Amino acid sequence: MFKVNENYLKLPGSYLFSTIGKKVNAYSAAHPDKKIIRLGIGDVTQPLAPAIIDALHSAVEEMGKAETFHGYAPDLGYEFLRNAIAENDYKARGCDIAADEIFISDGAKCDSGNIQEIFSLDNKIAVCDPVYPVYVDSNVMAGRTGTYDAQKETWSDVIYMPCIADHDFAPQLPEETPDLIYLCFPNNPTGAAITKAQLQEWVDYANRVGAVILYDAAYEAYISEADVPHSIYECDGARSCAIELRSFSKNAGFTGVRLGFTVVPKDLKCGDVMLHSLWARRHGTKYNGAPYIVQKAGEAVYSKEGREQLKEQVAYYMKNAHYIYSGLKEAGYTVSGGVNAPYIWLKTPDHMTSWEFFDYLLENVNVVGTPGSGFGPSGEGYFRLTAFGSYENTVEAVDRIKAAKL
C-alpha cells in the first residue's frame, strides 16, 4: 500500500497568500458594493513595457514559421539571454560571473523552492524571521525541519535569525552554525536593505564556517542607495559560498510571464563536487526550459529601449512606495522600508496583532495588506503593504487609512 510524504502533513494550514485570498473573497462576496484595494500580494499591475511587447510579438511570429520555429530550449537557457544577463547584471557591476554559470528558469519562486534539493537532508538551514514562506515550507516538505511548535510558530531544527527594529530589521550572525543560510535583500517582507560592508560580513562568515548563502536578490532593481549591493558577487569571496536567485517579476513586471534565473558559480564546491553540476543535473532531468518567446522577452529587458522603459516602471512603483511611507508616517504610524524596496513595513497600532489589523483594514477601509505574522513570529505586530498597485489606488488606499485615524 502506497504512503504519502508525511512531511507535507506537518505543514500548518495553507500557504499564506491562499488564506488571504479566501478571506478577501469571503468579504467581497458579502459586500459586493465595496471597492477593495489590494496592496497585499506582491503582484504588479502595470502592463508590460512596449519593448517587451514588441519582442513577444516578434518571437511569436518566429514560432509560426518552420524556418524560425523553436522546439526544446537548451537545458540551461538560450545563450542570447545568458549573455545579456552576464553582461548587464554582472560584468557591468564588476562581478566575475560567466554566462555558463547562469541557469534560466520560470521564476525565483520555483528556484528558491527547488534549490534545497541539491543539499543533504542533514543540513541545517538558517532563515530570517520574518521570512518569505517558500524558503521554510520547501524545506519542511523535504524533511529537513523537525517538529512544528504551534505556539511559537517555529520548527525545531531551523535556526531563526530575528530581524527586529533595534537592528534596522537586519539579521545578526547566528549563534548556532548553519549549513544553508537564506538571505533576501532588499528584503521581502520588511523592505530593509543592507550595505555592501554588512553583506561582506555574511560572505566572510559563510566561507569561515563552510555554509552556503542562498541569496535572493529579486528586488535589486528597487535599490536607490549607493552603498547597497545589487548582487552578492559584489562581495569578495562570494563565488565560493553563494548562490544568487533573480527574478524578472519585479524589475520587468513578469509575474504572469514567468522568468527568472539562478547563478551557481563553479567555485562553489563540497570537496570535489561542484554545486553547478548538481543544479545542471536537476535542470536537465526535472525541467524543460523557459518558453522561447519568454526568453526573447527577457532579452528585451536589457535592450536600450527596454532599460529606459523599465526604469520608468520601477520609478512609478517607487513613487507609490514613497506615498505610502510618508502618508502613514504623517498619520502617526511607525514605518520602515520603501527606500530600496517596493515594500513598506509598518507597526500595527494599539498593540493589535497582525491578523487583527488585517481584518481591521479589510473591514473598515477595504484595503488588503499582508499580516507580518504570516512571515514568522518576529513579524507579529507588523504589517506589509506593497507599492505594486496603480498610483490612483495607492493614493486612495493611503488616504482611506489616514482618514480612519485608528
Residue in 282, 307, 322, 329 binding a second copy, rule: CB under 8 A = 282
Whether residue 384 contacts residue 343, with contact meaning beta carbons closer than 8 Å, is answered with: yes
Q: Near a second copy by CB under 8 A, which window of 85-93, 133-141, 323-331, 360-368?
A: 133-141
Size of the site for a second copy (CB under 8 A): 83
Q: Near a second copy by CB under 8 A, which window of 51-59, 217-225, 312-320, 371-379?
A: 51-59
Q: Near a second copy by CB under 8 A, which window of 27-35, 44-52, 222-230, 373-381?
A: 44-52
Nearest distance from C-beta of residue 23 to a second copy, angstroms = 16
The number of beta carbons lying within 10 Å of the beta carbon of residue 36 is 17
Q: Near a second copy by CB under 8 A, which window of 72-80, 148-156, 345-353, 366-374?
A: 72-80
Question: Segment 387-406, which members bind a second copy (CB under 8 A)?
Answer: 390
Q: Is 114 in the site for a second copy (CB under 8 A)?
A: yes
Q: Per the structure block, which three cell numbers stand in for 254?
A: 513578469
Query: Which run of H or E residues covers position 182?
Result: strand 180-184
Q: Is 117 in the site for a second copy (CB under 8 A)?
A: yes
* Cα–Cα dist 301/331, whole Å: 38
Query: How would you label 325-359 residue by residue, b for 16+ Cβ within 10 Å and e otherwise?
Result: bebbeebebebbbbbbbbbbbbbbbeebebbebbe
Q: Is 12 in the site for a second copy (CB under 8 A)?
A: no
Question: Segment 21-40, which members bind a second copy (CB under 8 A)?
Answer: none
Q: Output 275 or 398, the one with its CB closest to a second copy.
A: 275
Q: Is 4 in the site for a second copy (CB under 8 A)?
A: yes
Whether residue 45 contacts residue 66, with contact meaning beta carbons closer than 8 Å, is answered with: no
Residue in 11, 36, 173, 395 binding a second copy, rule: CB under 8 A = 11
Question: Segment 205-224, which members bind a second copy (CB under 8 A)?
Answer: 209-212
What single-letter DSSP state applies at residue 88? I
Q: Output 219 or 357, the one with its CB closest to a second copy.
A: 219
Q: Is 88 in the site for a second copy (CB under 8 A)?
A: no
Q: Please, which residues have CB within 8 angstroms of residue 373's CB and are 6 or more apart in sequence?
A: 153, 353, 354, 355, 379, 380, 381, 382
Q: Is 73 in the site for a second copy (CB under 8 A)?
A: yes
The number of beta carbons lying within 10 Å of the beta carbon of residue 203 is 22
Distance between first and last Cα of the chain: 57
Q: Output 130 or 389, the one with its CB closest to a second copy.
A: 389
Residue in 37, 86, 97, 134 binding a second copy, rule: CB under 8 A = 134
Binding mask 296-315 for a second copy (x = CB under 8 A): --------------------
Per DSSP, the three-state class of 172 is coil
Query: How would you label 58-88 residue by residue, b for 16+ Cβ within 10 Å and e otherwise?
Result: ebeeeeeeeeeeeeebeebbbeebbbbbbee
Residue in 64, 94, 304, 350 binding a second copy, rule: CB under 8 A = 64
Nearest distance from C-beta of residue 81 to a second copy, angstroms = 14
Question: Segment 179-208, which members bind a second copy (CB under 8 A)?
Answer: 179-180
Q: Is 6 in the site for a second copy (CB under 8 A)?
A: yes
* Cα–Cα dist 260/82, whole Å: 11
Whether residue 191 contacts residue 39, with contact meaning beta carbons closer than 8 Å, is answered with: no
Nearest distance from C-beta of residue 295 to a second copy, angstroms = 9
Question: Segment 323-362, which members bind a second copy (CB under 8 A)?
Answer: none
* Cα–Cα dist 172/150, whole Å: 25
Q: Could you tell me the CA-to-CA distances from 146 to 7, 10, 110 in Å, in that order?
A: 9, 9, 23
Residue in 94, 166, 286, 405 binding a second copy, rule: CB under 8 A = 286
Q: Is 14 in the site for a second copy (CB under 8 A)?
A: yes
Nearest distance from C-beta of residue 273 to a second copy, angstroms = 5
